[in-house]
Structure 1
Amino acid sequence: MMKLDFSNMMESRIGERGISIGAIEDMEHRIKEIDRKLKSDRSEGRLQFMELPYKNVDEIISLANEEATKYENFVLIGIGGSSWGSIALHTALSHPYYNLLPASKRNGRPRFFVIDNCDPDETAGLFDIIDMEETLINVVSKSGTTPEPMANFVKCYEMMKRSVGKAYAEHFIITTDEGDGDGVLRRVAEREGIRCLEIPKRVGGRFSVFSPAGLFPAAVSGIDIKEVLNGARHMDEACKKPDIWDNPAYMFAVLEYLAIDKGYNISVLMPYSRKLRYFGNWYMQLWAESLGKEHDRDNNTVNAGSTPLKAIGAADQHSLLQLFNEGPFDKVITFIRVESYENDVSLPAVFRGWNELEYFGGHTLGELMKTEQFATELALTNHMRPNKTIVIPAINAFTVGALMYFFELVTTVMGELLNVNAFDQPGVEEGKRLTYALMGRRGFEREREEIRAKMGEEEKESESLVIYME
């Protein structure tokens, strides 16, 4: 059974730095108002991500199974919401050394690669180890205009045509916004005869993991996406109660909101499993892009949000825990505790008489991992640092799907509490526009001239502010 333990957030555990029962009770009326609003928005189709777990995915599975047997390599081209969900699912639910397994131990599935940046060394390095003739490329972009994946797409398009000739279109699958053909990727797909999967129009990229954007790559790797959606549906039901004390998503959001009021503006997610390391990246994008807003819905300047940070237990006990325990009182730590690991490694009783080593005998690495988590939780609590723990029975398709839906809902509720639009990203779009201008995209000539003029002025002003590192 999954559960949220927030005992160590409370005044009763960490004194005045904690949250009082009364503070939570004061939020009950507001949460019930938010509950009514979310249910109304959902019924009117404004929260389409909530409906994704209920979609039929038979066609996705059929296509993935058909394509998986044809190729040695699967390459996902995307960035942000078009890649983090897929990476998180694959890393959590596949063998930790999946690409190094022989094909027979991958059930004939292709190796899994991701190009999620415009780093030339990384992209060129991938071209060194894959044969285009043995590769299926899934280009994922909701808008079809994001510079990084589109640059990688045009390069792969050129290489694929050169490698396989007229059959190049068979080696691509495009996942983009559903619509009437107005998106550039959809137009490319239609002109080139490339198959196309659709992301619902009212589902943003960072909320698209339960759409073909996240599910198709997972299904190609053999992940049970129906069970992923079962987990999401289970969490949807678990979070329908309007009472804050019975709804884990509402309670989680309220605790984070109240913590911000107490000066805790960094939200740390610390799973005790390497399998969930990229789940942390997925969470960071979801939280940061949704909640980090300059203006609220009433156009007041609020500069809202808290900064998400991922840490991995137990490794980051040896990099970040010193700061967490003794640094500024500005962080809330959320642990993800795994009750049972898929595998365990027994530790032998060797080096008898050596106190520093013999105590491992009769224990397991899984036992050590859980002990490390509890010890870190205890140390933070002793230092009066607010922390809470999500406990999951195991890491599997069901629990990962449930966790992802949980954090999507928590983020949505936080948007309501902060009175910001959790589904736009004006700060990201500005960076895109500036990139278009500097790279010479037509239609951005005015912006390009403005940038050049400003850069020239700033260069003159900052000539004395440069130190050469020679």
Structure 2
Amino acid sequence: MASIDFFSNRIWKNWQNTGNTARYEELFHSGYKMYPPSFVKDSSKVADLGPYKEVAEQMKNDGIEILAVVGIGGSSLGGKAIHNLFNAYSDRIFFWEGPHPSAFYHMGKTAESRKVGLLWISKSGSTLETRTNLALFRQFFPGTPEYFVTSNPEKIADLNPPADKIFVFPEDLGGRFSMVSPVGIIPGFFLGADMEGFVQSFQSGIEQWDVSIPSENNAAKQIASQYFSLLENRFEGVVFWVYAAEMMGWGRWLVQLWGESLGKRSNISALPYLAQGPEDQHSMLQFFLEASNSYMHTFVHVGGYGVHDTVVPQEFPGEFGNHTLWEILQAQQKSIGLALSENLRPVSEFTLPGLEMQNMGRWFALWMYVVTYLGYLYEINPFDQPAVEKGKIYCKKLLAGSDVEPAVSKVLEF
């Protein structure tokens, strides 16, 4: 599993004991009783995977060359994270999320030359973006093989889905927690990823960081306690610096998981921010080093790339010569961590031993627990998202032609 290190400066509190362990433990247990995590009981087990593997094989046997995953938010980000981990550069899968004309153009051009199958995912069955994209695609490409994933099959009856191509996951399993369900597993199997190993690893993490395991032996509780302790003492968010390109999908998934789960009260300042290293060193680092000291910094890297690593030749002068790409990335990450720590920014570092699917399930389980335990410490329900419904209501009114008072007024033209 990942190792966790902290750059030494006086900002980080004692890792094993924030000084509030007993109180935090009470909140973990009371929160668990009030808001039990559905991902513990409702995520898929290895024994459940047969139908998902079979449908992925059927797609390939039917000659489907590209799987278009039509979903958005929690219906997409988990599958994208698996795609990113397993083979980020594979063009065998396309995630079609918002109703962007350019995305439809790309999808249409692809469908003209290669056989496409559609995997339509909507927990509610009524998501505006996914229904929009399905209606558009059917107009231009009728007869395309379609598969459906939802928690509410009765709400998609008007789409006339074939009964044998509907995959249902539990209603209690929130979209952002649903990657270990047909939402993420079917795309993974289609790509050829070891989803049995991934799910087995995930279940191992579910047991390892259960609420019954005390804080001194529970990494998820310790991480949540550390973040909470600093977020309650003037820090306003966490910057997740990802130095493995294959992990950026995980980072985008985590931003949604964190933001929708924790953004529930006006006094909660815990903004998640995703940065890719080393690219974002050249955009945001100046701000984080010298502007307001309001953010914690968490670095995520991998311990090595094995046979995929490459030595850079000493072709011309430079410190990079005769180093592997991993060594260069590692030096860049360490140097930024040192600079931030020197400026009294809280810096933590997670190093994963590798990116194999049979290990990565535990990594996703860890962060589901960390965010859940943070929610319990804030004494909120980490599994709902009541505020986002307001925007959906306004959108439906606007599309229906209702009179909606504009939130902005024109002040200038340019």
**Does the Cα contact within 8 Å between 1:75 and 1:135 map onto a contact in 2?**
yes
Correspondence 1:14 to 2:9: yes
Match of 2:24 in 1: 31
Decide whether the 8 Å contact of 2:237 with 2:269 is kept in 1.
Answer: no
| SS of aligned partner of 2:374 | helix
Tell me, yes or no, if structure 1 residue 145 matches structure 2 residue 119: no
1:309-328 matched pairs, under 5 angstroms: 309-328=273-292
Where in structure 2 are the equivalents of 1:218-233 lying within 5 Å? 218-233=188-203
Q: Does 1:172 align with 2:139?
A: no
What's the TM-score once normalised by structure 1's chain length? 0.81
Q: Which of the numbers 87, 90, 93 marks the counterpart of 2:83?
A: 90
For 1:131, what is the secondary structure of its paired residue? Answer: helix
Equivalent residues in 2 for 1:203-282, closer than 5 Å: 203-240=173-210, 242-282=213-253
Change (3 A) 1:468 1:176: same
Distance in 2, matches of 1:237 and 1:174, equals 30
**Considering only CA atoms, is the larger Rg found in Structure 1 or Structure 2?**
1
Structure 1: unaligned runs, 5 residues or longer: 100-110, 295-301
Structure 2 equivalent of residue 59 of structure 1? 51
Does residue 403 in structure 1 map to residue 403 in structure 2? no
Q: Quick one: distance in 2 between partners of 1:290 and 1:64?
A: 31
**Structure 2 residue matching 1:347: 3-state secondary structure:** coil
Give secondary structure in 1 for the equivalent of 2:149. Answer: strand
Label 1:40 to 1:269 Cα distance change in 2 as closer, same or farther (>3 A): same
Task: For residue 466 of structure 1, report the CA deviation from its aligned partner.
Answer: 1.5
C-alpha RMSD of matched pairs (Å): 2.3
Q: Does 1:466 align with 2:411?
A: yes
Match of 1:68 in 2: 60
Do the aligned partners of residues 132 and 408 (structure 1) sit closer, same or farther apart at CA in structure 2, a change above 3 Å counting?
A: farther
1:49 aligns with 2:39: yes
Alignment of 1:285-364 (within 5 A): 285-294=256-265, 302-342=266-306, 343-351=308-316, 354=317, 357=318, 359-364=319-324
Which residue does the alignment assign to 1:78? 71
- CA contact under 8 A between 1:269 and 1:280: conserved in structure 2? yes
Shift of 1:193: 5.1
Q: 8 Å contact 2:75–2:121 — kept in the other structure?
A: yes
Alpha-carbon distance, 1:293 to partner: 1.0
Maintained 8 Å contact 2:70/2:133: yes
| 1:35–1:321 CA distance, 2 compared to 1 (3 A) | same
Larger helix proportion of the pair: 1
Q: Cα offset for 1:80?
A: 0.4
**CA separation in 2, counterparts of 1:14 and 1:319?**
25
Task: Tell me the alpha carbon deviations over residues 181-234 of structure 1, each in whole angstroms, 9 at most, x when there is no partner.
Answer: 532x255345x5561011211101000000101111111111111111122122
Q: Distance in 2 between matches of 1:323 and 1:219?
A: 41
Q: AA paired with 2:4?
A: L
> What displacement does 1:315 show?
1.6
The CA deviation at 1:254 is 1.1
Amino acid of the residue matched to residue 284 of structure 2?
Answer: L
SS in 2 for 1:340: coil
Give the secondary structure class of the aligned counterpart of 1:426. coil
* Cα offset, 1:133, TM superposition: 7.1
SS at match of 1:136: strand
Note closer, same or farther for the CA distance 1:158–1:132 as it changes in structure 2 (3 Å cut).
farther
CA shift, 1:38, in A, is 6.0
User: How far did 1:21 drift?
Assistant: 6.6
Contact 2:39 2:173 in 1 (8 A): yes
2:327 is the counterpart of 1:370: no
CA contact (8 A) 2:32 2:376 kept: no
Q: Which residue of 1 aligns with 2:396?
A: 436
- Letter matched to residue 174 of structure 1: F
| Structure 2 partner of 1:102 | none
Shift in CA distance, 22/275, structure 1 to aligned 2, threshold 3 Å: closer
Contact 1:293 1:305 in 2 (8 A): no
Note if 1:136 corresponds to 2:107: no
Instruction: Give the match's secondary structure for 1:337.
Output: strand
Deviation at 1:134, TM superposition (A): 1.0
Asked if structure 2 preserves the Cα contact closer than 8 Å seen for 1:79 and 1:148, the reply is: yes
1:81-117 CA distances to partner (integer Å, 9 max, x unpaired)? Answer: 00011111101111x4222xxxxxxxxxxx1111111
Q: Which amino acid aligns with 2:12?
A: G
Partners of 2:74 and 2:177 within 8 A in 1: yes
Aligned residue pairs total 409
SS at match of 2:183: helix
